[in-house]
Structure 1
Amino acid sequence: MNRPRRDHPLVLLCYFGPVLVLAMLTMHPLWIGVLFGAGCLVSGTLSGWHALAKRLPGLVLFGLGVALLNPLISHNGVTPLLFFRGNPITLEALVYGGVLGLLLSALLLWGGIYSRLVDGEKILWLLGSILPQEALLLSVAMRYLPALQRRYHQLHRLYATMGLYRQDTFLHRLKGSFQLLSVLLGSALEDAVQTAYAMRARGYGRGRRTRMSLYRMGVREWCQLGIILLLTCCAGCLLGLGAMQVQFYPRIAFHMSIRELGAAAVYGLLLLLPALEEGGVWIRWHCWKPQRSALPMQAQQSRH
């Protein structure tokens, strides 16, 4: 389900801001687990489950690496499991490293969701009225990075076909890399000059600057914004009342009461809003679409 989305940039800003801020307020294992699980669901719904399956092992290995590295650096805690070169490997440091690795993996996952939903056009809309020149520069840079990557792969395949990397020596590959980089920079400068000529031909820099907006705040957008603000306030109030309190050093101590479960449910609902919206679109498309007329095959062929 990789259809282009036309989400309003203001709604996305008000969504990703509370999501990331609330993720940093506590290190409760339930809270971080909800963040990671909801990130997997949203990423699979938006970008496809096959892409998530390819990315998930790397995130898991990264989290395990952080979990195993933390006890080697930090030796706090009162529950030693074993000793490595005279230093204790404590249970508290291992658990804290696991939670920290899960948090970092979840943030990387949500970074991919952010790049899927927020593109250069939305950033230009958000910053256009405040910093128009900087927003335009950032939008152009974000547009050129994927273009340069595609051009690099094309030139690499072309030079490999011409036999540039035929001799497997370090100096030959270094020479070919510098030649490829020179051609790539030349093509990038040529594209930049053409873009500047096109902007000048369209009247950029002459007269009073105007804005064109493709986004409008309708009833749907206001409802989304209200739901986001309501869930954010509920989650913030529960955290302010003492929910999701956790302690790792010197002993592990955290609670799993109704208050923690309620805060996790509210935060999970906030995180799952894009997946719920995408699921609603899927249900409307597959269940409420008008059925085709049941004409016989011969009649359909005769009409064609």
Structure 2
Amino acid sequence: MTNSFKDFHPVVNFYYFTVVIIFSMFFMHPIFLGISLISSFIYSVSLNGKKAVKFNLLYMLPLLIITAIMNPVFNHQGVTILFYLESGNPMTLESILYGVAAAVMFISVILWFSGYNAVMSSDKFIYLWGRIIPGTSLIISMVLRFVPRYKAQIKIISNGQKCIGRDVSNGNIIARARNGIKILSIMTTWALENAIETADSMKARGYGLKGRTSFSIFRFDRRDRITFLSMIGLTIIILLGSFLGENTIIYYPIIKIKAITVFSILVYIAYILLCMMPFIIDLKEEIKWRHLNLKE
């Protein structure tokens, strides 16, 4: 599926991911957690396809299970005792449910950040914050692209070393360790040189100087205004629901959750629409393009 949401204005992209990540971190209500997890999973799959499915099954699912298990093992709060461990500590229903909720929240945030990395490029981030915090925005931009760029570079270095028989797969254990240290040393040198070149390049362009003008390809058009206002409207409904306690849940010492009402259903629908908005936009564009191709 095409990543049409990426073509929106940086303000729209940044606002969306900031809101959904903050909501995912602080809303521990099971319905909100489920909406966030399902939406982030669907969006990650729509962006990366089978690669995302493989990543979620191989890494996110085990991480979800491990994180969910850790809380009831070390936290024994709650009044609903299910059984006792060999150590004599009780295993409570409340600690298990809170562990599951915390695990879902953790995985959801990771998936949202993966979507953020696919949509928010370094150019967009610098465009938003370059004039306000030029030095900090440059550093954050470099950090955000650290993993994918350095991962690609270390693969290039490893392939180069492998061609001359100095890869981590060549020789005995000592030789492999020596080759690994050599690759790490080359990688560190490249990273430092790249950081210096970037800093010198930005300084030569007058980055961060007062009164400096800059060219930008981003324009806040009608499509961006409609989407942005829709996001703000949905956010207001969700915040109003949060203020009225529609997303409130107490796990300890006993689980207490507010009954579902007509307004709470409205808040849930608003949260679904907010979380699914990029996927809806991408799906709409995909259908549009297929319809145009069929006409041809």
TM above 0.5, one fold? yes
Q: Report the RMSD for the aligned CA atoms in angstroms.
A: 2.6
Name 2:93's counterpart in structure 1: 91
- Mapped to 2, the partners of 1:105 and 1:157 lie a distance apart of 33
> Aligned runs of 1:195-234 on 2, under 5 Å?
209-234=212-237
- 1:286 is the counterpart of 2:290: yes
- Mapped to 1, the partners of 2:200 and 2:242 lie a distance apart of 54
Which structure has the greater CA radius of gyration? 1
Offset from partner CA, 1:1-58 (integer Å, 9 cap, x none): 255732211112221222223234431111100111111122222222x122112222
Offset from partner CA, 1:225-265 (integer Å, 9 cap, x none): 10010000011112222312322222222233333322111
Deviates most, 112-121 or 249-258: 249-258
Report deviation, 1:200.
7.4
Name 2:269's counterpart in structure 1: 265
> Aligned runs of 1:76-225 on 2, under 5 Å?
76-84=77-85, 85-140=87-142, 142=144, 146-164=148-166, 165=168, 166-170=170-174, 172-188=175-191, 191=194, 209-225=212-228
Q: Which structure 2 residue ranges, 5 or more long, are not aligned?
A: none
- Secondary structure of the equivalent of 1:89? strand
Report deviation, 1:285.
0.3
Question: Aligned AA for 2:260?
Answer: M
Report deviation, 1:186.
3.9
- 1:53 is the counterpart of 2:53: yes
- Give the total of aligned pairs: 290
Q: TM-score, normalised by structure 1?
A: 0.85
- Secondary structure of the equivalent of 1:69? helix
Question: Aligned AA for 1:120?
Answer: S
Name 1:299's counterpart in structure 2: none
- Mapped to 1, the partners of 2:196 and 2:25 lie a distance apart of 43
Q: Is the 8 A contact 1:2 1:47 kept in 2?
A: no
Name 1:296's counterpart in structure 2: none
Q: Is the 8 A contact 2:39 2:275 kept in 1?
A: yes
Q: Is the 8 A contact 2:25 2:109 kept in 1?
A: no
- Secondary structure of the equivalent of 2:246? coil
- Secondary structure of the equivalent of 1:272? helix
Q: 1:287 to 1:250 in 2, by over 3 A?
A: same
Report deviation, 1:143.
5.3
- Mapped to 1, the partners of 2:282 and 2:92 lie a distance apart of 44
Q: TM-score, normalised by structure 2?
A: 0.87
